[in-house]
Structure 1
Amino acid sequence: MGRLVPAVTRALDILELFLDGDGSLSAPDIVRRLQLPRTTVHELVTTLAARQYIVPVPGQPGRYRLGVRPYQLGSRYAENLDLAAEGQQVARAVAETCDETVHVAILEGADVIYIAKVDSTHAVRMVSAAGRRLPAHCTSVGKMLLASLPREELDARVPAGAELPAMTANSITDPAALREALDEIRTRGIAVETRESNEDVSCVAAPVRDRTGRVVAALSISVPMIRWSEERRAELEQLAVKGAAELSEHLGHRSVA
């Protein structure tokens, strides 16, 4: 790996300061927060302003906000994103950690479609495939995605009087019961499915967000019942949340601490 260029590192440090705070900074703010010499900060600020990475704040002499260039770069990055490819990459990392089957899925109508999948190496594992479609209400990813919908959109996709198909004896078939489950998922921020789509499998799922904060997918970990326990569930919930957050970051989402 080559040597880092100090001036470039400092310029990027200045730009990243704008990720926090009220959106504007002065040179003294930068000096104080980065502990850099005033002359160095002045030169870096002048250069960044000349290239439109930062611009003066109207009516506030000496203060700067982000310019158009970071937006243009971010937009180009977003244009080149491939959710399936990014999802496959993160799913692989999660699967390597837990050695269970990991999926990334999106919502289409009242169904989910798996767009990425990495298998467990165990002989006993969930059998599925990318591209498979399942009723959303029977899966952890699907319930996570349904829970993220505005009430009006949820009612359109799953009407109150709908007959929900069952995949197993444990599937939720009553729309009212489904809505109760979705309320709990919204509160917890995690979805759990116990033998609802497959008698021999349980799953946990967490939401994946894009740069606007909108839930665009969900990441799940599926476990055969022979390896399922409350302790294991808690471990996998944390791992699913971590994996979904990583994929969200790949999509440009920035979590608020």
Structure 2
Amino acid sequence: MSRTVPAVVRAMDILELFLDVDAELSPRDVAARLGLPRTTVFELLNTLVSRGYLTRTGEDSSRYRLGVRVFQLGSAYSERLDLAREGRRVAGEVAGLCDETVHVAVLDGSDVVYIAKVDSTRSVRMVSAVGRRLPAHCSAVGKMLLAGLPSSAVRARLPQNRPLSALTPRTLTSVRKLERELERIRGEGVAFEHGESNDDVSCVSAPVYDHGGSMVAAMSISVPSSRWDHKSDMEWAQLVTEGAAQLSRQLGHVANAQRLPTER
């Protein structure tokens, strides 16, 4: 394992304190949270101020908040970020663990569009393609993405006076039943599909969040129904949740920052 530099680690620890709080911090706050000597904290804070990563604030300049240099670094990272590229990279890692097909999709109106896909190496696998569109209500990724919207926004995207289109006999065609399913998904954090878009495929999906806490995509694992059993629900759900969380971190997401829909 490569050697780390203790002073750099401590400086990063100080900066990361500001990920969890909105208020400014005093040297005493920092020392108490990290268990560091007050002298060490002052030296580190002064160094971070001198480089623009922190700035002094308060009437007596005895408190600190993040400086403009952090914003510049974050902006540079964001400008170079490509959701499809990062999605494919993380999907590849998830597919390597389960050897099943992994997708990343985004919501476009009432449809989902696949922006990344990594195939299973097995002879029997899901047939799909990047760029393919599917009605959101009949896919695990689509239901996950719809669940990330307030109910009023969901209703605005779906027909209210006619049934939803059906791709298989198992597709949810009732808007009311779909809304109940979305409520369940909001509570559980994962979405399932068993033969709703393809008779022979089961899927599980988890949300992908950006740096502001908005759900911007969903990741799914798609498995031929012949390889899915009752135990698979938990196994695939855990794996796709971990993969989606990893992709969210790549997008700058902090775990407690997602905005859950509250409007009804």
Give distance in 2, aligned partners of 1:162 and 1:23.
50
Instruction: Give 1:67 deviation, angstroms.
Output: 1.6
Q: Conserved in 2, the CA contact under 8 Å of 1:57 and 1:64?
A: yes
Secondary structure in 1 matching 2:65: strand
Residue 173 in 1 paired to residue 170 in 2? no
Give distance in 2, aligned partners of 1:4 and 1:189.
36
Gaps of 5+ in 2: 258-264
TM-score (norm: length of structure 1): 0.93
Q: Conserved in 2, the CA contact under 8 Å of 1:171 and 1:196?
A: yes
Q: Conserved in 2, the CA contact under 8 Å of 1:53 and 1:69?
A: yes
Residue 66 in 1 paired to residue 89 in 2? no
Residue 57 in 1 paired to residue 80 in 2? no
Q: Conserved in 2, the CA contact under 8 Å of 1:161 and 1:175?
A: no
Give distance in 2, aligned partners of 1:199 and 1:114.
19
User: In the TM superposition, what whole-angstrom CA distance separates every residue of 1:88-108 from its partner, at most 9, and x where no partner exists?
Assistant: 011011111111111000011
Match of 1:43 in 2: 43
After TM superposition, list the pairs within 5 Å mapping 1:131-150 onto structure 2. Answer: 131-150=131-150
User: In the TM superposition, what whole-angstrom CA distance separates every residue of 1:209-242 from its partner, at most 9, and x where no partner exists?
Assistant: 1111111100000111111111011110111111
Give distance in 2, aligned partners of 1:162 and 1:146.
19
Give distance in 2, aligned partners of 1:60 and 1:165.
64
| CA 60–169 in structure 1, closer or farther in 2 if over 3 Å, else same | farther
Instruction: Give 1:181 deviation, angstroms.
Output: 1.3
Match of 2:253 in 1: 253
TM-score (norm: length of structure 2): 0.91
User: In the TM superposition, what whole-angstrom CA distance separates every residue of 1:63-89 from its partner, at most 9, and x where no partner exists?
Assistant: 211122212211221121100001001
**What is the RMSD of the two structures over their aligned residues, measured on CA atoms?**
1.8
Match of 2:209 in 1: 209
Aligned residues: 257
Q: Conserved in 2, the CA contact under 8 Å of 1:207 and 1:241?
A: yes
Percent identity between matched residues is 58
For 2:235, the aligned partner's letter is E
Give distance in 1, aligned partners of 2:253 and 2:51.
25
Instruction: Give 1:194 deviation, angstroms.
Output: 0.6
- The worse-fitting range, judged by mean Cα deviation, of 82-91 and 178-187 is 178-187
User: In the TM superposition, what whole-angstrom CA distance separates every residue of 1:161-191 from its partner, at most 9, and x where no partner exists?
Assistant: 2432111111111212211211111121110
Give distance in 2, aligned partners of 1:225 and 1:150.
31
Instruction: Give 1:123 deviation, angstroms.
Output: 1.1
Match of 1:103 in 2: 103
Instruction: Give 1:15 deviation, angstroms.
Output: 1.1
Residue 78 in 1 paired to residue 78 in 2? yes
Give distance in 2, aligned partners of 1:246 and 1:2.
23
Q: Conserved in 2, the CA contact under 8 Å of 1:221 and 1:240?
A: yes
- The worse-fitting range, judged by mean Cα deviation, of 52-61 and 191-200 is 52-61
Match of 1:243 in 2: 243
Instruction: Give 1:31 deviation, angstroms.
Output: 3.1
Secondary structure in 2 matching 1:4: coil
- The worse-fitting range, judged by mean Cα deviation, of 67-76 and 85-94 is 67-76
Secondary structure in 1 matching 2:86: helix
Match of 1:26 in 2: 26
Give distance in 1, aligned partners of 2:201 and 2:82.
29
Give distance in 1, aligned partners of 2:226 and 2:134.
23
For 1:134, the aligned partner's letter is L
Give distance in 2, aligned partners of 1:223 and 1:2.
39
User: In the TM superposition, what whole-angstrom CA distance separates every residue of 1:88-133 from its partner, at most 9, and x where no partner exists?
Assistant: 0110111111111110000111111100011111111111111111
Give distance in 2, aligned partners of 1:56 and 1:175.
54
Instruction: Give 1:2 deviation, angstroms.
Output: 6.3
Instruction: Give 1:21 deviation, angstroms.
Output: 4.1
Residue 17 in 1 paired to residue 17 in 2? yes
Give distance in 1, aligned partners of 2:174 and 2:191.
18
